[in-house]
Structure formats: C-alpha cells, structure tokens
C-alpha cells in the first residue's frame, strides 16, 4: 500500500475565492487527519486564461492559511505528452474518434429530442458514424477535430463521502480539444493516477463529471480514488461567488480587516469546526475534522458578515 495522498487542483485563472479556499482547507484537513501527503496541481490547460502570477498568488494565499503542499507543484501544461499517451492507448483499442462539431452544432443537436436521458452537456454522438470520406472532407474544409471517447452508454456508480452513491451515464466525453490541448476529464484522470492520488476532494460542481472520470480510470486500468465533493459557497442570491458578492478573496477581506487567521476561523466556523471568535490553526481544525459532520448544503456567504 502506498501513502494516502490528497490534492487540491485549482485553475490558475484568477484569485482563489472563499469557496476555493474552503475546499482547499477540507482537502488539506482530510489529509492531515490521515497523516497523508497533500499535493497542489495547477490545472493550467488553457494557455489564454492561466497565468503564473495567479499561480503564485494562489500558493501564497494557501500558505497564509497554513496549507503548504508536501511536494513540488505540478502544472498540467507541462504534462501533455503523458495525457496524449493515455489517449493513444485508448485509440489503440478503437475507443477514440474524431469529432468536428462546433459548440453550436452540439447545442442544437442536444436540444433535439432523443431517447435516453443524457448527462449535462452530453454529446449526442453526431460524429460517431462519419465515414472516412466524411472525415477527410471535414479536415480538408479546415475544420479542426477534437478527439472523443467512444462510450457505450455505460452507467457508472461512484461512492462519494459527502454525496453518497451517485450514478451517471457516460457519454462520448472529449479527450483532446480541437486545439490539440488535452481535455479536463482526461487530464485529471491521468494526473491523479500518475501522482498517486488516493483521495479527491473538490467542489460539488464537479460531481456530475465523476462517473465519466471513473469510467476513464476503469478503461485505463487505474485505481479509483476516494471522492468527497464539498458543497459550494454561494451568495445570498444562491449563485456561485463572483465579484458582485463583494469581499470574497483574501486580499479583499484583508482590506476589511480580516487577516489570514480570520479567514481560517471563518471557514472553520462555516464547517462547524470552531466558534466564529476562536483563534485556530489549520492543524487544530484538522484534529476536529470528519466528513461525517461536513455540512451537506451550500454555505451562504454575505460580506456583511465581515
Ligand atoms: N481545476 C478544477 C477547478 O478549478 C478542479 C478539478 C478537480 O479538482 O478535479 O475547478
């Protein structure tokens, strides 16, 4: 048996907000409570929105709360070869096909009535049945091709530590985008496997993607990690946190006089692990942590609380 290993995998496309920080804290506490190792992986697949400045700022904000990775920070953008290797393996088994559809075509085809209920954003399979002649015509028209998994409507059940058993249908998920960049669902599966991650803690907005990812793990012969999807932080309007919700980053909270220790207390209190006026360290919170007591609904944030 290898070490217990968890991770936090932010996209360095902006400053971490309270929702990201709270998820990172839960991931870190779970690892600390199991004496495991905690990694940070930068999911910088998109070269246009990711930046090194955001990356450094995110690491500083995590460190200010006492969340420091036990190993080098890995960037997905430096691992494309590894991702492509996994796609080649699936391709060798006839499980990959080229898809020339635009987003608009997919949207239109998915809204047409079809038999089976499909997961969110599921691909209706338009390019599955293209002939070799169709494919070369599309390619010579200059249409770039994405690569998709040839799924067979498999249903996959995942046991989540927070959400319980979640079942979903696997669609023809994108493996490589039409700009040649590995797609999120593929990259996350390959990297978690190669990094020896045994526990994935992340926001529950990704719960519906988990059956797809578990299916990819099974096809590639990888072990499935334990999953825990943490309820999001939302504003009083019930929407995900954005700038319009006021002070939601460490810097903005610092401007209101809430330092990193104060943010830790606030997050700990939102998880039922400390009082709102208690000085705590992340390690002290970890001693009190258990998934059994993790709140099952979103935390509603209002910056009038600070
Ligand atoms: N990079 C994703 C995000 O920022 C998280 C992916 C994951 O944890 O699997 O939301």
Between CA 207 and CA 294 the distance in angstroms is 16
Torsion 125-128-133-137 (CA) sign? positive
DSSP H/E element including 206: none
Q: Is ligand 1 within 6 A of the CB of residue 43?
A: yes
Note the pLDDT of residue 108.
Answer: 81
Lowest mean pLDDT among 49-58, 103-112, 292-301: 103-112
**For residue range 152-205, what is the model confidence (pLDDT) as tens digits?**
989 999 999 999 999 999 999 999 999 999 999 999 999 999 999 999 999 999
* Residue range 6-35: mean pLDDT, rounded: 97
Q: Is 229 in the pocket of ligand 1 (CB under 6 A)?
A: no
Predicted confidence (pLDDT) per residue in 54-82, tens digit: 999 999 999 999 999 999 999 999 999 99
Residue 82: other Cβ atoms inside 10 A: 15
pLDDT score of 119 = 57
- In angstroms, the CA 251 to CA 257 distance is 10
Give the residue, out of 43, 173, 225, with the most ligand 1 atoms within 8 A of its beta carbon, to mutate for a pocket test.
43
Q: Kindly give, in sequence order, each residue whose CB lies less than 8 Å from that of residue 240, ignoring residues fewer than 6 positions away.
A: 19, 205, 232, 234
Does 42 sit in the ligand 1 pocket, CB within 6 Å?
no
pLDDT value for 238: 94
Average pLDDT, the chain: 94
User: Is residue 304 very low, low, confident or very high in pLDDT (cuts 50, 70, 90)?
Assistant: confident
Among positive and negative, which fits the CA dihedral 117, 120, 121, 127?
negative
Cα(298) to ligand 1 centroid in Å equals 18
What pLDDT, in 10s, does the model give residues 215-256? 999 999 999 999 999 999 999 999 999 989 999 999 999 999
SS3 (DSSP) at 19: helix
Substitution candidate for ligand 1 out of 15, 203, 240 with most atoms within 8 A of CB:
203
pLDDT for 122: 76
pLDDT of residue 1: 54
Say if ligand 1 is within 6 A of residue 212 CB.
Answer: no
Picking from 104, 103, 102, 96, the residue whose alpha carbon sits closest to that of residue 128 is: 96
Closest by Cα among 155, 86, 149 to 117:
155
- Is the CB of 27 within 6 Å of ligand 1? no
**CA 11 to ligand 1 center in whole angstroms:** 7
Q: Using DSSP bridges, classify how beta strands 199-203 and 174-176 pair: parallel, antiparallel or unpaired.
A: unpaired
Known catalytic residue: 243? yes
Residue 120 to residue 173: CA distance in whole angstroms: 11
């Amino acid at each position: 048996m290898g070490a217990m290993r968890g991770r936090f995998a932010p996209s360095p496309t902006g400053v971490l907000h309270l929702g990201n920080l709270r998820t990172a804290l839960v991931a870190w506490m779970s690892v600390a409570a199991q004496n495991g190792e905690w990694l940070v992986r930068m999911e910088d697949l998109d070269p246009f929105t990711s930046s090194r400045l955001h990356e450094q700022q995110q690491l500083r904000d995590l460190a200010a709360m006492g969340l420091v990775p036990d190993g080098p920070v890995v960037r997905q953008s430096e691992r494309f070869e590894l991702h492509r290797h996994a796609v080649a393996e699936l391709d060798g088994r006839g499980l990959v096909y080229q898809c020339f559809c635009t987003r608009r075509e997919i949207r239109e085809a998915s809204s047409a009535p079809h038999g089976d209920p499909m997961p969110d954003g599921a691909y209706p399979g338009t390019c599955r049945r293209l002939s070799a002649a169709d494919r070369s015509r599309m390619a010579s028209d200059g249409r770039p091709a994405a690569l998709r998994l040839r799924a067979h409507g498999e249903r996959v059940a995942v046991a989540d530590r927070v959400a319980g058993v979640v079942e979903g249908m696997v669609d023809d998920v994108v493996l490589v985008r039409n700009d040649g960049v590995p797609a999120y669902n593929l990259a996350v599966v390959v990297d978690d496997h190669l990094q020896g991650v045994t526990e994935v803690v992340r926001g529950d907005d990704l719960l519906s993607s988990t059956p797809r990812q578990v299916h990819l793990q099974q096809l590639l012969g990888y072990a499935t990690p334990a999953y825990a999807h943490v309820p999001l932080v939302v504003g009083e309007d019930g929407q995900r946190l954005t700038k319009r919700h006021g002070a939601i980053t460490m810097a903005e909270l610092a401007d209101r006089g809430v330092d990193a220790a104060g943010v830790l207390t606030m997050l700990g209190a939102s998880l039922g692990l400390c009082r709102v006026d208690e000085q705590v360290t992340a390690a002290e919170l970890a001693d009190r942590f258990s998934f059994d007591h993790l709140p099952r609904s979103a935390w509603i944030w209002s910056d009038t609380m600070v």
